[in-house]
A and B are shown apart, each in its own frame.
Chain A
Amino acid sequence: MKPIISISHLSKTYAGGFTALNNISLDITEGEILALLGPNGAGKTTLISIICGIVNATSGSVSVAGYDSNKHYRAARALIGLVPQELTLGAFDTVWNTLCFSRGLFGKKSNPAYIEQLLKDLSLWEKKNSLLMTLSGGMKRRVLIGKALSHEPSILFLDEPTAGVDVELRKDMWALVRKLRKSGVTIILTTHYIEEAEEIADRVGIINKGELLVVDDKLALMHKLGKRQLMIDLEQSISLIPESLLDWELELSNKGKSLIYTYDPRNERTGIAELLRAIDVAKLSLRDVNTSQTSLEDIFINLVNQ
């Protein structure tokens, strides 16, 4: 399948000499939800800004639906809606006018019915004549989403959409994202909340210090990098791991009352049965056993700290 966005060897060095992006290549598939995960200052916003035409790249190229983002910027940009990270809105415009303005900027004829439906979907219809400066932070975020969707884009960028947003809006937002995706819109969101990526994305890319460390299917990523742990609680604490159990490379924790066995669930033999038998032979009595899966968070911390 042809990618809807193709980023090729993209680098950005800001005027001050700081390199925010270093040779990033990435293909984004039509219709997917891609989460770009990375700590503050990783370069997420810079990457989005280059794709959207707000920041000039130092080298490399981006094509959107086959259109080069510089040479054929009109065709490329017309497809994209952007919800910026900051709450950048005018003060003295009304909600209705600002959405109509955005639609016009992207070359679309006015369509009051569409804008009305959009405002209703965003629970903003009652506010349509309110001045932007009178809105709460959450409502401003909705307006920004409305502006980005006002010209019916087929690609939507959400730059940290849930930063400083309450639970309810967050739920609404994910519902909207899922609905958009169903209608075929490609969605790229950035976040530093791992649960978010885990919850909503199809694929996850991890960025740190301007480098794309890994991009993969969310499940594959967790599968590939996600080890499982078996926690074995003992009746009595021990100070040393018996020699007969050394093969399993166990960790002693919980003041000697627990053994932790890390294993790869993809292996044909996980070694769990043998371990339990060996524990029995070593005359340690079990109290409880449970397993846990590494979350994206662990994967992330692992990668970033490498």
Chain B
Amino acid sequence: MNIQAIKVIYKYEMLRAWKTLLQSFASPVISTILYFVVFGSAIGGRIEQVEGVSYGAFIVPGLIMLALLTHSIANASFGIFFPKFTGTIYEILSAPISFIEILIGYVGAAATKSFIIGIVILATAGFFVPLEIAHPVWMLTFLVLTCISFSLFGFIIGLWAVDFEKLQLVPLLVITPLVFLGGSFYTIDMLPPAWQTVTLFNPVVYLISGFRWSFFEVSDVSVWISLGVVSSFLMLCLVTVWWMFKTGYRLKH
């Protein structure tokens, strides 16, 4: 195991966030506050309670997930896309380093940053609404699994993208709709029956449902199904990235 290589990649990626500290950590906090103002106070004032939880608190898990997904993908995809774009990837490719080590370095750093963002948002939310976490271990499990699997997903996008446009494409066209339709701001049974069925094909629904359950014991689907879906997604990403490295897809000619 080339521990030194993992260390320098991880450190390099963490440093990148540090240099743009404001952008990295302050912007998710600001946008979360905005969501609270708009949804929590303005709209939530009229909704009052969802399944026994105040609306302001109800949207917290969804908001955290929204931020985690967006930032994991943006961060990890950029981290590997940029060296590809500038050509400095030659150094990674010619180093005595395995694909597992490259993954641990890049995805580990992206996941760490997302995790910090998640915790920061959680703390920010605590200022606005009283929060109780019914199952802290489940909560952390979902948090960590989400950070890792979506950083991995971002890494795949970064490998796949050949230009900046493609880099933006998937987050914009796929992730944002999935998250907004994933039940961040409502429960599934608030939707018309037809849409409830459609929604069940949205993996983000399971994520948010499980995560929300760990706070309030309120969920759309069983927490075990949520865990299964997230774990399967993680496995799928791992297999994809393994295949990409093995074949040198978009990395080696």
> Cα distance A300–B19 when bound, in Å?
51
- Whether the Cβ atoms of B4 and A100 lie closer than 8 Å is no
Min C-beta distance of B232 to chain A, whole Å: 31
Min C-beta distance of B81 to chain A, whole Å: 13
Q: Which residue of B lies closest to A55 (CB)?
A: B253
> Cα distance A126–B83 when bound, in Å?
26
Contact with A along B83-111 (1 / 0, CB 8 A): 10011101111111110000000000000
A108 contacts B by Cβ under 8 Å? yes
- Whether the Cβ atoms of A54 and B90 lie closer than 8 Å is yes
Known: A14-B253, A106-B95. A86 touches B87 (CB 8 A): yes
- Whether the Cβ atoms of A106 and B252 lie closer than 8 Å is no
Q: Which residue of B lies closest to A52 (CB)?
A: B94
Known: A56-B248, A100-B8. A105 touches B95 (CB 8 A): yes
> Cα distance A54–B252 when bound, in Å?
6
- Whether the Cβ atoms of B96 and A56 lie closer than 8 Å is no
Among listed A77-85, A117-125, A215-223, A287-295, interface-contacting one: A77-85
- Whether the Cβ atoms of B7 and A104 lie closer than 8 Å is yes
Min C-beta distance of A66 to chain B, whole Å: 15
- Whether the Cβ atoms of B2 and A107 lie closer than 8 Å is yes
Q: Which residues of A contact B90 (CB under 8 A)?
A: 52, 54, 82, 84, 88
- Whether the Cβ atoms of A105 and B97 lie closer than 8 Å is yes
Known: A55-B252, A82-B94, A147-B91. A92 touches B19 (CB 8 A): yes
Min C-beta distance of B11 to chain A, whole Å: 8
Q: Report B1-46 residues with CB < 8 Å from chain A CB.
A: 2-5, 7-9, 12, 19
- Whether the Cβ atoms of A107 and B4 lie closer than 8 Å is yes
Number of A-B contacts (CB under 8 A): 75
> Cα distance A125–B178 when bound, in Å?
51
Q: Report B41-97 residues with CB < 8 Å from chain A CB.
A: 83, 86-88, 90-97
A109 contacts B by Cβ under 8 Å? yes
Q: Which residues of B contact A15 (CB under 8 A)?
A: 253
Q: Which residues of A contact B91 (CB under 8 A)?
A: 102, 105, 147
Q: Which residues of B contact A76 (CB under 8 A)?
A: 96
- Whether the Cβ atoms of A106 and B86 lie closer than 8 Å is no
Min C-beta distance of B22 to chain A, whole Å: 16
> Cα distance A54–B87 when bound, in Å?
11
Q: Which residues of A contact B83 (CB under 8 A)?
A: 90
- Whether the Cβ atoms of A74 and B88 lie closer than 8 Å is no
- Whether the Cβ atoms of A90 and B8 lie closer than 8 Å is no
Known: A90-B86, A107-B2, A108-B4. A53 touches B9 (CB 8 A): no
Min C-beta distance of B116 to chain A, whole Å: 21
Q: Report A145-160 residues with CB < 8 Å from chain B CB.
A: 147
Q: Which residues of B contact A261 (CB under 8 A)?
A: none
Q: Which residues of B contact A90 (CB under 8 A)?
A: 83, 86, 88
> Cα distance A107–B9 when bound, in Å?
11
A89 contacts B by Cβ under 8 Å? yes
Q: Which residues of A contact B252 (CB under 8 A)?
A: 54-56
Known contacts A74-B2, A107-B5; 9 further A-B pairs (Cβ under 8 A): A15-B253, A52-B93, A53-B94, A54-B90, A56-B248, A76-B96, A91-B86, A102-B91, A105-B92
A-B pairs with lowest CB-CB distance, top 10? A104-B8, A88-B87, A74-B96, A105-B95, A52-B94, A77-B96, A78-B96, A107-B2, A104-B4, A54-B93
**Residues of B participating in the A interface, judged by any CB pair closer than 8 Å:** 2-5, 7-9, 12, 19, 83, 86-88, 90-98, 248, 252-253
